[in-house]
């Protein structure tokens, strides 16, 4: 089990992590700290799961786009990146934790010269609740980058709890009024309070990423309903799991409630992903933005990691999309295994799902894919449409001439 999945992850009274860790100075890069853990089952460092490695590639790819887009814009005086559940900065076999590659990639960015990196313009905030992990993070960062005070960007590392300490930190660093990208990588722990999410959503050009482990909501609904109230913005905004539902259905319902909370907070586009790893535990992720350009950039980053090492990000609605398409079409298109030209089932399912509701133009389908599905981009629309037309599954009204953006499509009668 991943150590931080313990929901009793409170700081132990009287625990002195300093007794277990090497002090920040003097540790050569790459040297492991002793097993500086509170207990064997909840160590300071843990092994890097494949799903986490893929998530890191996604963060890195998105940050590579986010920093230059925001910092090259004349409208933004400054930007703030937040990693509210920063971790110890290192995994068991020495792999980088998220704060390390975020700083390193920014300092080595190919567009660095055009970003005008200064301590006033760029702030990176890292919060970690566990003292031993906070100390390890500080140690790892200073080993890697030297004194943080001398970096050309403002790196703030604090021991503290995201739900309590993040807002005061953002106030102290004058983050409001300029773009904030906040990552809440809590996974198995208390997530971001809805009121904080709302403040970020209402701030200009700001975005969030929230991750969850499997069954996160179900584990909290019985023993800690108040925590869920804080996360959803009130008891009326979430409903208890249906005991007769399958685990997958329960998850989809929770995710729907959560996406609604993200919309209510003020984000126009909540994208939900499920990172399916060949091995290890899956990871769920919600990205919230108010800008179509944010959706595009995040998806582009996602395609960078998709398919890598047996990892695939997928939309939790996939099952629904496929199921409904399969019910409509028997024998199913989805049985067409071995056809190398067949686009992805999920892509086809989404196009059919939209056309089940009403006829739509090529442009409307493209926009739906781009803004309403986490996986697919506008550029995928024609591929799917052509395939479904060739199969006789969808028809074009007023056929003839080239397929254009305004060509109207509808489902063929089954």
Binding site for ligand SAM (CB under 6 A): 4, 9, 83-87, 97-98, 127-130, 133, 161-163, 185-187, 189-190
Closest separation in Å from C-beta 367 to ligand SAM: 33
User: Using only C-alpha atoms, what is the Rg of the chain?
Assistant: 23
- Helices 194-202, 162-172: axis angle to 10 degrees equals 30
Residue 21 CB partners (closer than 8 Å, separation 6+): 33, 34, 36, 44, 132, 135, 136, 139
Q: Report the alpha-carbon distance of residue 153 to residue 138 in Å, rounded.
A: 16
Q: Where are the alpha helices (DSSP H) in 358-406?
A: 362-372, 381-390
Closest separation in Å from C-beta 314 to ligand SAM: 21
- Helices 247-265, 318-328: axis angle to 10 degrees equals 120
Nearer to ligand SAM, 85 or 387 (CB): 85
Structure tokens at 207: 């975005």
Q: How far is CA 381 from CA 89, 243, 299, 343, 347, in A?
A: 40, 38, 15, 10, 8
DSSP line for 189-210: S----HHHHHHHHHSTT-EEEE
Structure tokens at 316: 């939790």
Instruction: Give CA angle at 161 (156, 167), nearest 5°.
Output: 65
Closest separation in Å from C-beta 86 to ligand SAM: 6
In 3D, which of 350, 364, 348 has the Cα closest to residue 407?
Answer: 364
Nearer to ligand SAM, 9 or 344 (CB): 9
Nearer to ligand SAM, 57 or 130 (CB): 130
Closest separation in Å from C-beta 378 to ligand SAM: 30
Nearer to ligand SAM, 54 or 409 (CB): 54
Closest separation in Å from C-beta 246 to ligand SAM: 26
Backbone phi, psi, residue 46, to 5°: -140, 170
Nearer to ligand SAM, 133 or 317 (CB): 133
Closest separation in Å from C-beta 381 to ligand SAM: 34
Nearer to ligand SAM, 224 or 323 (CB): 224
Nearer to ligand SAM, 276 or 371 (CB): 276
Backbone phi, psi, residue 207, to 5°: -140, 160
Closest separation in Å from C-beta 300 to ligand SAM: 21
Please identify the residue of the shown chain whose CB is closest to the bound ligand SAM: 87
Closest separation in Å from C-beta 30 to ligand SAM: 17
Structure tokens at 31: 């040297």
Nearer to ligand SAM, 226 or 339 (CB): 226
């Amino acid at each position: 089990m991943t150590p931080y999945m313990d929901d009793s992850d409170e700081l132990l009274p009287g625990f002195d992590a300093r007794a277990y860790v090497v002090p920040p100075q003097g540790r050569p890069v790459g040297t492991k700290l002793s097993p500086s853990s509170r207990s064997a089952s909840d160590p300071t460092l843990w092994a890097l799961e494949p799903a986490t490695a893929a998530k890191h590639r996604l963060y890195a790819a998105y940050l590579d786009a986010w920093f230059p887009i925001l910092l090259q814009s004349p409208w933004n005086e400054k930007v703030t990146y937040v990693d509210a559940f920063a971790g110890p900065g290192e995994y068991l076999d020495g792999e980088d934790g998220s704060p390390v590659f975020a700083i390193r990639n920014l300092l080595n960015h190919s567009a660095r010269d055009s970003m005008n990196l200064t301590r006033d313009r760029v702030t990176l905030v890292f919060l970690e609740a566990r003292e031993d992990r906070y100390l390890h993070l500080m140690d790892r960062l200073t080993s890697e980058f030297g004194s943080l005070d001398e970096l050309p960007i403002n790196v703030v590392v604090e021991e503290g709890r995201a739900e309590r300490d993040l807002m005061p930190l953002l106030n102290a660093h004058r983050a409001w009024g300029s773009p904030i990208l906040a990552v809440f990588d809590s996974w198995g722990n208390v997530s971001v309070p809805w009121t904080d999410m709302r403040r970020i959503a209402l701030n200009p050009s700001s975005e969030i990423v929230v991750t969850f482990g499997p069954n996160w909501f179900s584990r909290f609904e019985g023993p800690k309903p108040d925590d869920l109230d804080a996360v959803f913005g009130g008891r009326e905004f979430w409903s208890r799991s249906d005991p007769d539902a399958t685990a997958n259905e329960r998850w989809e319902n929770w995710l729907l409630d959560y996406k609604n909370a993200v919309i209510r907070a003020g984000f126009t586009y909540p994208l939900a992903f499920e990172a399916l790893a060949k091995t290890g535990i899956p990871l769920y992720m919600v990205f919230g933005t108010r800008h179509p350009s944010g959706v595009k950039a995040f998806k582009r980053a996602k395609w960078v990691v998709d398919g890598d090492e047996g990892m695939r990000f997928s939309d939790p609605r996939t099952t629904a999309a496929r199921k409904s398409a399969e019910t409509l079409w028997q024998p199913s298109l989805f049985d067409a295994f071995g056809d190398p030209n067949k686009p992805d089932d999920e892509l086809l399912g989404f196009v059919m799902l939209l056309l089940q509701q009403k006829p739509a133009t090529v442009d409307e389908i493209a926009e739906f894919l781009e803004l309403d599905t986490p996986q697919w981009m506008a550029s995928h629309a024609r591929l799917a449409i052509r395939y479904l037309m060739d199969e006789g599954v969808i028809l074009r009204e007023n056929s003839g001439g080239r397929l254009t953006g305004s060509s109207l499509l509808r489902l063929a009668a089954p």
